[in-house]
Structure 1
Amino acid sequence: MTGAGLDLRVKQDKLVRDKVVDALRQAILDGALKPGRRLTERELTELTGVSRTSVREALRHLQSERLVEASPSRGLRVAIPTVDEVGHIYELRAELEPLAAKLFVERATQGEVDTLIEIAGQLDPAESNNKDVLDRFDQVLLAGCRNPILEQVLGGLYTRIHALRRISAATPGRIAVTKEEYDDFAAAVLRRSPEDAAEAARRHVKAARASALIAVNLLEQGSD
């Protein structure tokens, strides 16, 4: 009986840790915990209502996802991508996103095409925060590729640059340009042209990379 109870308790502890990981990850992705923000076990214990052990394990897991990193001063902080990391990530995006665009045109259902076009039309240049629209666009695009490995890899890249995408999108004038880029992509999808869709995606990634480099410099200036 003692052994069975111990096994059950371990499973429960693991579940708590996973819930803390999910909560902190979402707070980071939503911007509630901003890049460069120092993270202390005491504060997070108070915020989550769980033990320091669970918080410590959750932070260790988030470090493995590169969402949390060691702070230059002390302790941990929400990760800030380096210029080199941004360059490496956008090198991959420049190859993978055009491929995703091409596969979407070739494989997506008409319902997915209609949904993507509708979402693209919801981008509002007058709105500084279009995060939900961009996230839904990515989800439909990746699902329509019908390639789960590409979806996993490219989705992981989007997670790594979550803060940069949000900050660069809020840069004056950037969302208006993004709107034009998405409209070009939507038009290519409507024409069912894989080549034009891939080229539109390539142009978008190139412009996004330039904005991301500006964003990472802003993040570094505001970090501890």
Structure 2
Amino acid sequence: MATELKQLKLETLRSQVEKHLRLAILNGDLKPGEKLIERELCEQLGVSRPSVREALRKLEAEKLIVIVPHRGPEVASMTLEESQDLYAIRRLLESFAAHEFTRLASDTQVNQLAKVVKRLGDAGKKNSRTGVLQAKAEFYDILLGGCGNQLVKEMLGGLLSRVSLLRAKSLMLPDRLPQSLKEIQTLLNFIEARDAKGAQKISYKHVMNAEVAALGVFRLQHPESSNQPNH
């Protein structure tokens, strides 16, 4: 019993470290290309090195960090072309998930989604970056959990982690956030009406608009990328 409790405590600690580092990356506190030094992380978080290493392995699997030979772990960065590829696949998968959720989700799941959309709107009005990102994560957990396709859930879940590297930069833009919230509310309206085609269409449009905003910020921060050919 003592061994089981110790294991549970270790798992909880690793989860907390992982959550802290993920949020720091998505909030922009840890920048793309920034080196992650295990010793410093241990000191900052007050945890053991195994807990930090396990968390880093999980974030590496999500492609939020990369292990660079002779340098160690650092926050992942993306090229313009990689970003365009991500959004192209996200449009297809997310609009499909919205269609299938509308068609298959239980009334309970739809109600859960509505509650999260309200929390998202409240966080947006307060201009709370952390609140918006957390509500967004919950939104996708429910949407993917009710779309009836485990493969889409796994694929899109992985993509969204990487997309978050870009989305965190653009989501809180003064002109983007209100529009994003309006699009999500419209998506919810279609879902509640069980209009699968309408949900698919607005979801596709939502991701297209998100891409324009995110890549606009990317180009401003990386002027050299403007010379790269578009797809």
The answer to whether TM tops 0.5 is yes
Determine helix, strand or coil for the equivalent of 2:74: strand
Residues 220 and 95 of structure 1, relative CA distance in 2, 3 Å threshold: same
- Is the contact made by 2:18 and 2:55 (CA closer than 8 Å) also made in structure 1? no
Confirm or deny that 1:39 pairs with 2:36: yes
Aligned to 1:188: 190
Q: Which moves more between the two structures, 114-123 or 96-105?
A: 114-123
Correspondence for 2:163 among 161, 164, 183: 161
Confirm or deny that 1:93 pairs with 2:84: no
Q: Which moves more between the two structures, 78-87 or 201-210?
A: 78-87
CA–CA separation in structure 2 for the residues paired with 1:210 and 1:116: 25
Determine helix, strand or coil for the equivalent of 2:86: helix
CA–CA separation in structure 2 for the residues paired with 1:163 and 1:206: 17
TM-score by length of 1: 0.78
Aligned to 1:173: 175
Residues 76 and 216 of structure 1, relative CA distance in 2, 3 Å threshold: farther
Q: Which consecutive residues of structure 1, in runs of 5 or more, have no partner in the other structure? A: 1-7
Which has the larger Rg? 1
CA RMSD of aligned residues (A): 3.0
CA–CA separation in structure 1 for the residues paired with 2:66 and 2:45: 20
* Matching of residues 204-219 of structure 1 within 5 Å: 204-217=206-219
Letter of the 1:29 partner, please give it: R
Identity of aligned pairs, percent? 30
Deviations along 1:59-116, one digit per CA (max 9) or x if unpaired, are 4554343221357xx5542112221221111111111111101101110011111222
Confirm or deny that 1:63 pairs with 2:60: yes
CA–CA separation in structure 1 for the residues paired with 2:94 and 2:55: 31
Residues 19 and 145 of structure 1, relative CA distance in 2, 3 Å threshold: same
Tell me the number of residue pairs that the alignment of Structure 1 and Structure 2 aligns: 209
Deviations along 1:47-66, one digit per CA (max 9) or x if unpaired, are 35555576556545543432
CA–CA separation in structure 2 for the residues paired with 1:91 and 1:100: 15
Runs of 4 or more, structure 1, over 4 Å off, are 18-21, 48-58, 217-221
* Matching of residues 131-142 of structure 1 within 5 Å: 131-142=133-144
Letter of the 1:108 partner, please give it: A
Determine helix, strand or coil for the equivalent of 2:31: coil
Q: Which consecutive residues of structure 2, in runs of 5 or more, have no partner in the other structure? A: 224-231
